[in-house]
Copies of this chain bind each other. A is one copy, B any other.
Amino acid sequence: MTTPAPRFAGVVPPVVTPLTEEGAVDVASLERLIERTLGAGVDGIFALGSSGETVFLTDSQRDQALEVVVKTVAGAVPVIAGCIEPTTRRVLDRADVSTRLGVDGLVATAPFYAIVGPHEVERHFRSLAASVELPLLAYDIPVCVHTKLSPGLLSQLAAEGILAGVKDSSGDDVAFRQLVLAIAERAPDAGFSLLTGHEVVVDAMMLAGASGSVPGLANVDPAGYVRLHRACVNGDWDTARAEQDRLTRLFRIVDAADPATAAGATRGVGAFKTALALLGVIDSNTVSLPMRPLDADETARVRAQLELAGLL
């Protein structure tokens, strides 16, 4: 018997949520974004993640965005939905809505705002899994929730079938490598999905044993990430490295916003949206308060990087 393939693998872009200048979900832009992304050959869509501004949207905006994504994807690839709320019951409410809207998997972080320790984190994921029917993925993003999910906990929950996978946005390659080995040893038959969330080390993490990637930058260049993934899967590491290098340079669009007046969220999502607007995929680079959109100078810097990367 061979090890089963992970349920969620390949390139799974965490799509942005386009907004009109008035702050409403821009349905037409979102449809175009999804169609372009699918057209590039991606393997899944992650809606309402950090790049999707999920914590900036109201519940009704979230529902609306999710409906558009599910309808536009139309079963072509799996859709996983972020259920990003501080605590268990609130996550479950989002899980219920997402399930009704027809997604294929759910993504939850460790609790945030609430001060918790390892026991609360474990109880959180166990309680979630006990109440949802869809596969549950853990979103390891300590820069936002200020808790790192340990390889020990993740592999234990994988072995028990509590978790179906992880999106690793921890930036901790040492822990990711140890997680890969722990899954191979403790849950080899689980089909556990090991997805890296870091745009610039996909080749390295694939070499280390990742199942795929969830790169925010794939909003901008999904075809590049598909080429990169295929090269990794084929063991063509020279091609992978070259493609990764090009994408790593493109990732410099997140440095376009002036660091004196714009921090993390603004710089990342703001740049992705600005690039997509420049590419004609979405209508506006509007982002949610308290972020601000990139201005003309910053937009010019994004444009320059798109040109360097051959996208414009």
Contacts and interface: CB of A to CB of B under 8 A. Distances in A.
Contacts of A89: 23, 56-58, 288-289
Contact of A113 (B112, B124, B172, B237): B112
B120 A291 contact: yes
Interface string A104-124: 000000011111111111011
Given A87-B56, A181-B245, A248-B181, A173 B201 contact: yes
Interface string A250-263: 00000000000111
A120 B290 contact: yes
Contacts of A123: 289-290, 292
Nearest to A267: B115
Contacts of A121: 290
Q: Count this chain's copies in the assembly.
A: 4
A32 interface: no
A271 to B, nearest CB: 13
Interface in A255-291: 261-266, 288-291
A241 interface: yes
A134 to B, nearest CB: 19
Contact of A264 (B115, B201, B249): B115
A235 interface: yes
Contacts of A198: 173-174
A137 to B, nearest CB: 18
Interface stretch (A10-18, A36-44, A143-151, A159-167): A143-151
Contact of A56 (B57, B90, B261): B90
A290 B116 CA distance: 8
A263 B120 contact: yes
A172 B171 CA distance: 6
A90 B265 contact: no
Contact of A87 (B127, B261, B263, B289): B289
Contacts of A171: 171-174
Interface string A207-238: 11100000000000000000000000001011
Contact of A88 (B87, B119, B288): B288
A88 to B, nearest CB: 4
Contacts of A112: 112-113
Instruction: List 8 tightest A-B contacts by C-beta distance, closest first.
Output: A115-B264, A117-B263, A204-B204, A124-B290, A173-B173, A88-B289, A55-B86, A123-B290
Given A171-B173, A173-B204, 10 more contacts: A23-B89, A56-B90, A88-B289, A113-B113, A114-B291, A115-B263, A115-B265, A120-B290, A127-B290, A173-B201
20 contacts: A58-B89, A87-B288, A87-B290, A89-B288, A114-B144, A114-B265, A115-B265, A116-B264, A116-B291, A120-B265, A120-B291, A120-B292, A173-B173, A174-B198, A174-B200, A204-B204, A204-B208, A208-B241, A209-B241, A235-B238
